[in-house]
C-alpha cells in the first residue's frame, strides 16, 4: 500500500482485502471461510441484533525493524473471548481456531500492515454473535465468528501526547454484577452518551466511577486507568471493568523496571496524590493524562508539566511498545511471530 499516509492514520475502519468467518451450527463449529466482502447477511431475528448477544476482541499486529510481524499475547485475547462468550451464554470460539483465524487474516492482509516507525499498527477485530433466530429472550443455537483487520493510528489523538479526561457521574457504564467484565457490545452502547458528553467538552474520554457508590475509579472509556505515586503503579480493582491485557502486561513490565505495583480500589480523592496518571489498552496503548476534571466536585487534577508525560509513564511506554515492535527483548514470552 504505497500511497497510504501511515503516520497520520486515524483509529478507524478501512477496507482490507480479506476477512475470515466461521459458523456454529448443530452444536459444532465449521471450517474457517475466507471472504472478500465486508458485509454480512443476517437473520432478522438473530439474537445478536435483538438481545445483544455479541462479544468482540481487539489485538494488534506490529511490523518490526527486522521485517517480522508480531502478535502480542493473542492467547489472552482468545481466553477473554471465551470468557465473554460464557458471560452472555454464547458458544465459545475454540482457542486453536482463534489462533488460526487471527494468523491467516494477518497473512492475507499483509500489505495493510503499517511499516515500522510509522507509529501505526494493524488492528485485529474478532467478533462473535448470536446469528440464530429467537424471539423469546434466550441464547441462540447458532453463532457467527468474524475476524477482520484494519490499519490504525493511536486511539487518542497525538499518541503519547497527554489528554484530558472528564469524570462522569451522570451515566454508568456497567453495574457491579453486570457485564462490565466481559467485552460485549452492550457495555459500549451504555458508554456512548457519556463519551459524547466528554468529546463535546473537549475531553479525550470519560472516567467512569463505580456505579454503586460513585466512590472509586472504574475505567477510562475504552481503556483501564492507572496512577503513579511514590514509584508505584496503582490500578483499580473492580468487578465492573474489563481486565485489560495491556494493564496486566504493564504490571509485569513495571515489576521488571523496579516499579512497585498495586491493584486495589482507587478512591476519587486519591487522584490528588498521583504524580502521573494514564489510560491503557490495546487501542489506547498508553495515553498519559494531562488533566482530570471533576465538574461536580469543582476539582481539576493536573499530572503533566509542560504538556509532557511523566518519567514513569515514559519508562513503561518505551518498554511495552519496544517489546511489541521487537526493539526490546521479549523477556516475558508475549510475542508470536506471524510467518
Tell me: does residue 283 bind ligand COI (CB under 6 A). yes
Grid coordinates of 18: 480479506
As measured in angstroms, the least distance from the Cβ of 108 to ligand PLP is: 23
Q: Which is nearer to ligand COI, 140 or 284 (CB)?
A: 284
Q: Which is nearer to ligand PLP, 130 or 185 (CB)?
A: 185
Residue nearest to ligand PLP (CB): 281
SS3 300: strand
Q: Which is nearer to ligand PLP, 24 or 129 (CB)?
A: 129
DSSP secondary structure of 80-129: HHHHHHHHTT-PPPPHHHHHHHHHHHHHHTGGGSPPTTSS-EEEEEEEEE
Among 219, 181, 182, 149, smallest CA distance to 53 is for 182
Backbone angles phi, psi at 307, to 5 degrees: 65, 20
From the list 34-42, 199-207, 261-269, 280-288, the region that binds ligand COI by CB under 6 A is: 280-288
As measured in angstroms, the least distance from the Cβ of 124 to ligand COI is: 9
Q: Which of 28, 157, 183, 302 is catalytic?
A: 183
From the list 109-117, 133-141, 279-287, 300-308, the region that binds ligand COI by CB under 6 A is: 279-287
183 annotated active-site: yes
Angstrom distance (rounded) from CA 146 to CA 125: 8
Angstrom distance (rounded) from CA 51 to CA 137: 7
∠ Cα 75 78 81 (to 5°)? 150
As measured in angstroms, the least distance from the Cβ of 247 to ligand PLP is: 6
Tell me: does residue 282 bind ligand COI (CB under 6 A). yes
When CB distances are held under 5 to 8 angstroms depending on the partner's kind, the choice from ligand COI, ligand PLP, none that residue 326 binds is none
DSSP 8-state symbol, 155: S
Tell me: does residue 281 bind ligand COI (CB under 6 A). yes
Q: Which is nearer to ligand PLP, 227 or 281 (CB)?
A: 281
Give Cβ neighbours of residue 75 (< 8 Å, ≥ 6 apart): 95, 99
When CB distances are held under 5 to 8 angstroms depending on the partner's kind, the choice from ligand COI, ligand PLP, none that residue 242 binds is ligand PLP
Q: For helices 95-108 and 74-87, what crossing angle results, to 10°?
A: 120
Among 73, 52, 49, smallest CA distance to 61 is for 73
Q: Which is nearer to ligand PLP, 224 or 324 (CB)?
A: 224
As measured in angstroms, the least distance from the Cβ of 192 to ligand COI is: 11
Q: Which is nearer to ligand PLP, 248 or 314 (CB)?
A: 248
Which of 58, 159, 176, 322 contacts ligand COI by CB under 6 A?
Answer: 58
Tell me: does residue 222 bind ligand COI (CB under 6 A). yes
Parallel, antiparallel or unpaired: strands 285-294 and 163-168: parallel
SS3 178: coil
Give Cβ neighbours of residue 24 (< 8 Å, ≥ 6 apart): 30, 91, 142, 143, 144, 145
As measured in angstroms, the least distance from the Cβ of 25 to ligand COI is: 28
Q: Applying CB under 6 A, which residues contact ligand PLP? A: 58, 219, 222-224, 242, 244-247, 281-283
Confirm if 284 and 222 have CB atoms less than 8 A apart: yes
Confirm if 270 and 227 have CB atoms less than 8 A apart: yes
Residue nearest to ligand COI (CB): 58
- Binding mask of the shown chain, residues 232 to 271, with x at each position contacting ligand COI by CB under 6 A: ----------------------------------------
Residues at the interface with ligand COI (CB under 6 A): 58, 222, 281-283
- Catalytic sites, residue numbers: 183
Amino acid at each position: 500500500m504505497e500511497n497510504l499516509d501511515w503516520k497520520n492514520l486515524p483509529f478507524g475502519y478501512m477496507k482490507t482485502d480479506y476477512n475470515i468467518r466461521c459458523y456454529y451450527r448443530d452444536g459444532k463449529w465449521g471450517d474457517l471461510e475466507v471472504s472478500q466482502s465486508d458485509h454480512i447477511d443476517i437473520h432478522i431475528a438473530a439474537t445478536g441484533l435483538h438481545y445483544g448477544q455479541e462479544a468482540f476482541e481487539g489485538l494488534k499486529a506490529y511490523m518490526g525493524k527486522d521485517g517480522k510481524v508480531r502478535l502480542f499475547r493473542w492467547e489472552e485475547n482468545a481466553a477473554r473471548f471465551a470468557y465473554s462468550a460464557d458471560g452472555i451464554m454464547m458458544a465459545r470460539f475454540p482457542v486453536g481456531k482463534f489462533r488460526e483465524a487471527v494468523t491467516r487474516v494477518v497473512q492475507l492482509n499483509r500489505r495493510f500492515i503499517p511499516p515500522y516507525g510509522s507509529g501505526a499498527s494493524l488492528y485485529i477485530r474478532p467478533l462473535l454473535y448470536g446469528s440464530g433466530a429467537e424471539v423469546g429472550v434466550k441464547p441462540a443455537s447458532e453463532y457467527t465468528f468474524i475476524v477482520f483487520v484494519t490499519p490504525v493510528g493511536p486511539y487518542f489523538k497525538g499518541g503519547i501526547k497527554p489528554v484530558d479526561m472528564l469524570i462522569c457521574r451522570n451515566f454508568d457504564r456497567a453495574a457491579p454484577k453486570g457485564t462490565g467484565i466481559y467485552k460485549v457490545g452492550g457495555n459500549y452502547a451504555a458508554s456512548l452518551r457519556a463519551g459524547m458528553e466528554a468529546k463535546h467538552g473537549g475531553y479525550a474520554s470519560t472516567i467512569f466511577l463505580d456505579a454503586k457508590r460513585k466512590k472509586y475509579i472504574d475505567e477510562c472509556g475504552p481503556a483501564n486507568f492507572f496512577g503513579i505515586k511514590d514509584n508505584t503503579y496503582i490500578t483499580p480493582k473492580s468487578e465492573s471493568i474489563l481486565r485489560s491485557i495491556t494493564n496486566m502486561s504493564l504490571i509485569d513490565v513495571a515489576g521488571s523496571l523496579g516499579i512497585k505495583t498495586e491493584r486495589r480500589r482507587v478512591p476519587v480523592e486519591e487522584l490528588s496524590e498521583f504524580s502521573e496518571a494514564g489510560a491503557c489498552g490495546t487501542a489506547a496503548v498508553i495515553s498519559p493524562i494531562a488533566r482530570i476534571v471533576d465538574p461536580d466536585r469543582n476539582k481539576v487534577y493536573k499530572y503533566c508539566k509542560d504538556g509532557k508525560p511523566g518519567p514513569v509513564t515514559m519508562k513503561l511506554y518505551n518498554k511495552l511498545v519496544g517489546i511489541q515492535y521487537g526493539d526490546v527483548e521479549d523477556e516475558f514470552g508475549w510475542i508470536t511471530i506471524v510467518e
